[in-house]
Amino acid sequence: MRRSIPVFLCIAGTVSLAACDTARVNGAQMDRKFQDVNVIDETDLSEVMLTVADPNEGVSYFERSLKGDPDRIDLMRGLASSLVRAKRMTEGVAAWARVADHKDGSNADSVALADALIRSGDWDRAEEVLNTIPPTHETYKRYRLEAMIADSNEDWKKADSFYETAVGLTTKPAPVMNNWGYSKLSRGDFAAAERLFLEAIQQDTTMFTAKNNLALARGAQGKYDLPVVSMTQIERAQLLYSLGLAAVKRNDVETGKALFREAIDTHPQHFEAATRSLRALDASAKS
């Protein structure tokens, strides 16, 4: 019986070692599983921080995350995007510059840098950045920015070409159509501007900026009736006010005053801007 004891101990030891190995394997598998879960959770949280969260909360989140892993380009992109969303443009430009210079930086990152530069008013540097991007990088965002740069240089032919290309590269062209229409409006091509604003509204019926621009384009042509588009009562009052401003600009003062009065009557609350403009015109007529 004494000889069986070492054999038993050896067997027990073998079983124990096997159990330890199994535990280590299972533990490693569990660690990997939890790591995967953490990555998924972190990705979801990053998406939240880039969309619905307060932009400054996003900045704080990505700054904290980068302290633990300062070279992770996805976190660097998140910080840069959040800074731009928070309108902290100087910091946002610097952050996007770091992303674009990163070893894993892409052409899309350079486009984002150019976008941040335009938002900060540095058009010349934005143009320089866009010129470094190869022509094979054909995206909606790139051509929208190229069109805006061409507009700023008053290179209308190039601007129209870039706007047209950008429209063809997106399923949601309303914003670029509105920009293109505003470009036409600034050139004095009011009929083309009116057409583009109408097309933008057809794509996005909630875009008030395009509705207001449409009113301005029509008013510049002496068309003082409201365009036939979907609008709320407040929007209607604001569009009447914009038409009134356009009328006054064309020296159609009495028409402008009538439109201001209609805007005041239409607005469900007190319409201070229209009231002030009407008083100014009345005072000017009496003096």
* CATH number, domain with residue 155: 1.25.40
Residue spans of alpha helices (H) in the chain:
4-50, 55-68, 73-85, 89-101, 107-119, 123-131, 140-152, 156-167, 174-187, 190-203, 208-220, 233-249, 253-266, 272-286
Q: Identify whether 10 is part of a domain.
A: no
Say if residue 236 is in the same domain as residue 251: yes
CATH code (residue 223): 1.25.40.10
Say if residue 178 is in the same domain as residue 161: no
Domain boundary among 126, 145, 169: 169
Q: What is the pLDDT of residue 14?
A: 45
Answer yes or no: is pLDDT of 215 > 70.
yes
Specify the long-range contacts of residues 187-191, CB closer than 8 Å, at least 24 apart: 187/156, 190/217, 190/218, 190/220, 190/221, 191/221
**Cα separation values, 285 from 17, 256, 257, 279, 281, Å:** 101, 13, 11, 10, 6
Q: Identify whether 7 is part of a domain.
A: no
Q: Identify whether 179 is part of a domain.
A: yes
Q: What is the pLDDT of residue 35?
A: 41
Q: Which residue segment(s) compose the domain that 287 sits in? A: 172-287
Say if residue 281 is in the same domain as residue 267: yes
Give the mean model confidence (pLDDT) for residues 48-70: 88
Name the residue among 85, 151, 135, 136 with its Cα closest to residue 112.
85
Q: What is the pLDDT of residue 34?
A: 36
Q: What is the pLDDT of residue 93?
A: 98
Half-sphere exposure of 25 (CA within 13 A, CB side): 6
Say if residue 265 is in the same domain as residue 179: yes
Angle at 111 between CA 137 and CA 76, to 5 degrees: 120
Helix (H, G, I), strand (E, B) or coil at 86: coil
Considering the chain, what is the average pLDDT of its residues?
Answer: 87
The answer to whether the CB of 187 falls within 8 A of the CB of 156 is yes
DSSP code string of 16-45: HHHHHHHHHHHHHHHHHHHHHHHHHHHHHH
Q: What is the pLDDT of residue 70?
A: 94
Say if residue 68 is in the same domain as residue 138: no
In the DSSP assignment, the letter for residue 53 is S
Answer yes or no: is pLDDT of 3 > 80.
no
Domain boundary among 169, 191, 208: 169
Answer yes or no: is pLDDT of 25 > 70.
no
Confidence of residue 118 (pLDDT cuts 50, 70, 90): very high
For residue 280 the two structure tokens come to 């100014």
Answer yes or no: is pLDDT of 10 > 70.
no
Q: What digits encode the pLDDT tens for the residues 63-105?
A: 999 999 999 999 999 999 999 999 999 999 999 999 999 999 9
Say if residue 68 is in the same domain as residue 150: no
Model pTM? 0.78
Say if residue 98 is in the same domain as residue 110: no
Answer yes or no: is pLDDT of 30 > 60.
no
Confidence of residue 41 (pLDDT cuts 50, 70, 90): low
Say if residue 203 is in the same domain as residue 269: yes
Number of domains in the chain: 3
Q: Identify whether 216 is part of a domain.
A: yes
In the DSSP assignment, the letter for residue 120 is T
Q: What is the pLDDT of residue 20?
A: 47
Q: What is the pLDDT of residue 52?
A: 67
CB atoms within 10 A of CB 20: 10
Give the mean model confidence (pLDDT) for residues 255-261: 96
Q: What is the pLDDT of residue 243?
A: 96
Percentage of the chain exceeding pLDDT 70: 84
Say if residue 285 is in the same domain as residue 204: yes
For residue 2 the two structure tokens come to 């004494």
Say if residue 143 is in the same domain as residue 164: yes
Q: Identify whether 94 is part of a domain.
A: yes
Say if residue 165 is in the same domain as residue 124: yes
Q: What is the pLDDT of residue 283?
A: 84
Higher pLDDT, 275 or 284: 275
Question: Residue holding tokens 């894993």?
Answer: 104
Domain boundary among 102, 126, 147: 102
Answer yes or no: is pLDDT of 212 > 70.
yes
Q: Identify whether 25 is part of a domain.
A: no
Say if residue 203 is in the same domain as residue 282: yes
Q: Identify whether 8 is part of a domain.
A: no
Q: Identify whether 229 is part of a domain.
A: yes
